Amino acid sequence: MSRKLVLAVIDAMKPAMLERAVATGRAPTLGLLMERGHYVDACVAAFPSVTPVCAASIATGTGPGEHDIPAMNWWHRGEQRYIEYGTSFGASRAFGIRQSLTDTIYNMNLEHLSTDVETVFERLDDAGVRTAGTTYLMYRGRFKHEPSVDTALTRLAHTVFGLPTMGPRELFYADLFASRRTPCRSQLGLPGVRDQHSGCVASYLVEHDLFDFLLLSLPDNDTHSHKHGPYAQVDSIAAADRQITRMMDAAGGVEAFLEEHAMIVCSDHSQSKVEGEIDLFRAFDGFGVRAAQRARPDDEIAVCPNSRAAQVYVLDREHRRKLIPRVERTLLALEGVDLVLRMGDHPDGEAIVRGERSRGVKELRFQPRGDLVDPRGGRWSVDGDLGLLGLKIEDGRVTSATYPDALSRIWSALRCHSAGDVLASAGPGYEFLDWGGAHHVGGGSHGSLHANDSNAVLLWSGLDVEPAPRDQWALRDIVPMVTGHFGLT
């Protein structure tokens, strides 16, 4: 019988900040796991490196080209409307708070996440493993859950969000869903309270032996880092560490817990400092930009900022060949835009990357199935300016420290069915203004292809089946670690 397993996701945890928190004694439990287990300081996020995309990769073991979650804010071609998962309160208000919450709570899992991929909950549920999860964007499982009506707040929310959903056997989602009564409350998932709610639920589940696999979501580090910057994470990582300790205390302490439980700890992405904003709406003022909630006859494009990434969708398909070059030129002319990405017209598929550099616009084109091998074993053919993605080729291997796993991540992002026609990645220090005009200048953000945003934490201890060593770890390796632990292929 396998040990029970907890997968703890600490949102936006930067490897260097985890190391500092451990070195200063602020995160003793995480430090103990690092001593006893295996620690990776460059587990590569999906691209765009925003939470819904990365959470989907953690939950499914796939990239956006397979799980079909393209961004935080995106254009739904089938429904001809914007999807907004809560980039900021102002952005949600622009599209309608109720619609934004419905998309985030229900539609992301039940409609937007591809039905061609299984979540880790679904795979384990089918195998008879007792699954559980605290508030996490990706929760789709095999068990039906009715909304909770235990408190005045949840009864009020029930009038708006009264539909059931499908999740793990034990689901606790921001008080909206609770598979059983506990003393734990999250005030409907307010930042600053979410980690405490998760810790309370986890300790209850441990005390009452209610899971074999638990996804423990600890998201408050991300909010803290957005406000105070990525180099102020020690306090929020310490707070997350306390909740992990709280869970272990319910088993009689750290030692007793680790006798019966294995642990995987990861972050979904990192964060980088923001010093300037990029205003896409001003840049595309000469285009027919689709408004947040209304269509107009002259709509040409939909603009979707995603923190340190952006996507542009061409709505006027008749003039697509003219509009895409205009969109590219507009993006390349913006200070702070690092890379502009799109698929080319090659019949076998070809990705095109462009960037404004000191001597003008540089270009790189690439395809899979070539002679070059990346650190994860993917094969590519590459033509153009290698320096654009910091690529180095040696003995038939292609690598990049500046843009880790760049070719695979770009390819997956561009092949996502719901992605934009043109994607952009911001340079260090810059962020795109969202639909509410919000930004994190003076704080931290993420979303880009750059290593600053993309290198996440991966830490594990006590797995029954040790994963094979890799030259390059990625978020999509986590599901195989979980299923391998439980003897599933």
Task: Label residue 206 by pLDDT band (50, 70, 90).
Answer: very high
CATH number for the segment(s) 4-69+113-271+450-485: 3.40.720.10
The answer to pTM > 0.85 is: yes
pLDDT digits (tens, 9 = 90+) for 19-32: 999 999 999 999 99
Measure the CA–CA gap between 337 and 450, rounded to whole angstroms. 12
pLDDT of 144 reads 97
Do you find a cis peptide bond into 48, omega within 30 degrees of 0?
Answer: yes
pLDDT of 489 reads 76
Phi, psi of 206 (to 5 degrees): -65, -45
Strand 392-394 to 81-84 pairing: unpaired
Pair 80, 65: CB distance under 8 Å: no
pLDDT digits (tens, 9 = 90+) for 404-419: 999 999 999 999 999 9
CA distances from 117 to 68, 87, 141, 238, 376 (A): 9, 25, 12, 35, 21
**E runs forming strands in 358-469:** 360-373, 379-384, 392-394, 397-399, 422-426, 429-432, 444-445, 455-461
Domain segments of the chain as ranges: 4-69+113-271+450-485, 277-439
Task: Label residue 137 by pLDDT band (50, 70, 90).
Answer: very high
Which residues, listed in sequence order, are joined to residue 154 by a DSSP beta bridge? none
Q: Could you identify the residue written with the tokens 């080319």? A: 344
pLDDT at 348 over 90: no
Measure the CA–CA gap between 292 and 283, rounded to whole angstroms. 17
302-305: list long-range contacts, CB under 8 Å, 24+ apart.
Answer: 302/75, 302/82, 302/420, 304/71, 304/73, 304/74, 304/75, 304/82, 304/420, 305/73, 305/87, 305/280, 305/432, 305/433, 305/434, 305/435
